[in-house]
Amino acid sequence: MKPVFYFASLFLILSLLSCSESENPRSPLIGTWENRTYVDSLDYWFVESYTFKNDSIFDLKTTVRDLEAGTDLGYRMTSTAWYNLEGDVFQYYYSDALIYFAFRPDDPLFVPKEDLRAGVIDFFRVPKGKIIFYR
């Protein structure tokens, strides 16, 4: 009887201590990614930053910089969004955002984050497309 008890105890302990792998691998997008566009007529860099927090949520912000890798001068928009990545097909959606609304031609191109105002973005369809990574 004792050998059966010891075997069962050993099996239970090994089962509890064994490592288990997640069924789904961690998203390759986790981290911060940037899309930077230089507008020479304005002499500014417009930067879209995507900070992927987990397998379905990311923060999106649009800022303006003097230098491509410099500090942000101000904001144009910020939002938390949902995404789905299946293979190389990326799909995202957000509706609530803090946005800078410039109405007059002489309004500044960006503002401090605290000057952004709540807004709703209404997509006609959920954006979807192939994602490509560049080095």
- Above 70 in pLDDT, residue 11? no
pLDDT of residue 9: 61
Separation in Å, CA 33 to CA 2, 51, 59, 125: 59, 6, 10, 24
- Specify the pairing of strand 89-93 against strand 72-86: antiparallel
For the cut 90, the answer to whether the pLDDT of residue 5 exceeds it is no
**Range with the largest mean pLDDT of 95-99, 126-130, 131-135:** 95-99
Phi and psi at 4, nearest 5°, equal -65, -40
Residue 110 has pLDDT above 90, yes or no: yes
State the pLDDT at residue 6: 54
- By CB neighbour count within 10 A (0-12 exposed, 13-18 middle, 19+ buried), where does 5 fall? exposed
- pLDDT exceeds 70 at position 12: no
Mean pLDDT of the chain: 83
Tracing tokens 């930067």 back to the chain, one arrives at 47
The mean pLDDT value for 111-123 works out to 89
Paired with 130 in beta bridges are 89
**Tens-place pLDDT, residues 14-67:** 565 555 555 555 677 899 999 999 999 999 999 999 999 988 899 999 999 999
**Measured between alpha carbons, how far is 10 from 8 in angstroms, rounded to an integer?**
5
How large is the C-alpha radius of gyration of the chain?
A: 23
What does pTM read for this prediction?
A: 0.72
Element (H, E) at 75: strand 72-86
Confidence of residue 95 (pLDDT cuts 50, 70, 90): confident
